[in-house]
Structure 1
């Protein structure tokens, strides 16, 4: 595929990320009321603004757009520059501190490794922004893995976070390839193809465990097994996102309703699921009103090359 086709793929997954992100973010509120909205498939009143999930995905997209690679020094600069353009987009306290310290001159390698007493962050932030890599390099899984790892390392040096980024980027590569080759994987095939590329980790183990969970299980049971992002770690977020995607490869809308039903870190989970499923879904299963209403990443303040 030529470079324009790769960029178009990355833009499409960004659309899915932004819709999922804004959609999920609209479901924070009083639990009983939110559950009622979900049961009736009614989106709460919302501005359809995306959060840091999309903003950081834009930075990765622009790295690929500019050079077809991930330059880690450039990427971290994009991250802290975009953070400063609007800091009120859901950034976590640890990431805020990391970006500030790097902006002030500290080496990102040292700062990233120092997080959590030298363990590095195992947060879900590296995974939430990884979709553009999979969409851009779907024909080359080794490139996907190389650049997903690089994109994670600048803020998340822990193996769990890196595994999460690998899983979501590989999942996006698979859904992009499915659409390109007009094929459909079964849920188990989809999960297995991701698993065979992942390093040993708790995140990988929980993704593997997801193969034994039927889609019609009570959502509370699914949450007890796979997590829902409440802890904001990769191993508490990515397994459910992969499982939800695996069973909705052709249905973007159903995927997001299922994703938000588990509550937890709903904007991040929906961003991941949206970014993956939009690449393989049927066109009629992408609500046009969602595309129309969501904040436009192409004309946002976070987009440097408009």
Structure 2
């Protein structure tokens, strides 16, 4: 007599939430990246986005945003928390495997050195940009799944987001951006996303000031105007990126498709703004309700 096959053990809720966020992040990243070629003709790009015409490319590849989010996820899967030396090694190995994912200037300088000397991550990350450290949006763009993972404790979210950021972004603004996005994702999983609550948990910084402006911006504001007032990532700084992306996510907390279209209307660093928005909203919705065509085109995740 054959023994019955044991039922698979359900994944813990925190892993499910983080994976849903990661799926949303990767979709936003790949969707946003498709718009860059059209930005050579801004009027055409704006008309295409306003008309909600899906980008024509048959394959939507994700960028460094997703590659680094996968690195965060791997460390969480292995240790259940952020361990900075391990994260430095994972980031360096991910870069070595595929350096053409669209990494920024600072990461092209830092990550090859981390591959050789991962234990020097504090010194190397702090030494970027004439010793100021990076205040870019790279720590924020990968933080949403971490927020979903630790969603039961905002204190833990803040602590872990800070640890995840410091490996590459030593500047306080880079850290603040990661904290804001992680908190937004945690609140999103609970159905409690509000920009004021995200600002309350974000350290004093230009990022927090931007969030406070975003909290006062009505949701019926045209997205291009919102991007004009809050920033759209064109300067690749955390404070120029995070407030607009959080505003777009809070504008459409239960509709990932609408949130990504709104974010794309802001132009700028659109793969990163869409990745942040996608990770926040996806922490609550996953990719449910997204057009099947989008999911078929997006590069699969490991």
Length-normalised TM-score, structure 1: 0.90
Q: Which runs of 5+ in 2 are unaligned?
A: 1-9
The counterpart of 1:6, out of the listed 8, 14, 29, is 14
Shift of residue 62, structure 1, vs aligned partner: 0.9
Closer/same/farther in 2, CA of residues 99 and 45 from structure 1, 3 Å limit: same
- C-alpha separation between the residues in 2 aligned to 1:212 and 1:150? 30
Q: Deviations over 1:217-242 (max 9, x none)?
A: 23343223200000000000000011
The match for 1:227 is 231
The match for 1:182 is none
- C-alpha separation between the residues in 2 aligned to 1:223 and 1:127? 17
The counterpart of 2:171, out of the listed 139, 144, 158, is 158
The match for 2:126 is 113
- C-alpha separation between the residues in 1 aligned to 2:224 and 2:242? 17
The match for 2:3 is none
- C-alpha separation between the residues in 2 aligned to 1:198 and 1:17? 21
Residues 1:59 and 2:67 are matched in the alignment? no
Residues 1:199 and 2:199 are matched in the alignment? no
The match for 1:92 is 104
The match for 2:257 is 253
8 Å CA contact 1:130–1:148 kept in 2: the answer is yes
The counterpart of 1:238, out of the listed 221, 226, 242, is 242
Shift of residue 216, structure 1, vs aligned partner: 2.5
> Root-mean-square deviation (CA), in Å?
1.7
Shift of residue 164, structure 1, vs aligned partner: 0.5
The counterpart of 1:145, out of the listed 147, 152, 158, is 158
The match for 1:70 is 82
Q: Deviations over 1:170-221 (max 9, x none)?
A: 000011122xxxxxx4xxx711111111111011001001122122223343
The counterpart of 1:45, out of the listed 56, 59, 79, is 56
8 Å CA contact 2:127–2:133 kept in 1: the answer is yes
The counterpart of 1:295, out of the listed 290, 296, 299, is 299
8 Å CA contact 1:27–1:43 kept in 2: the answer is no
Closer/same/farther in 2, CA of residues 57 and 155 from structure 1, 3 Å limit: same
- C-alpha separation between the residues in 2 aligned to 1:35 and 1:275? 23
The match for 2:34 is 26
Task: Give the length in aligned residue pairs.
Answer: 288
Q: Deviations over 1:235-274 (max 9, x none)?
A: 0000001111111101111100000011000000000001
Length-normalised TM-score, structure 2: 0.91
Shift of residue 105, structure 1, vs aligned partner: 2.3
Shift of residue 104, structure 1, vs aligned partner: 2.7
8 Å CA contact 2:224–2:265 kept in 1: the answer is no
The match for 2:25 is 17
Larger Rg: 2
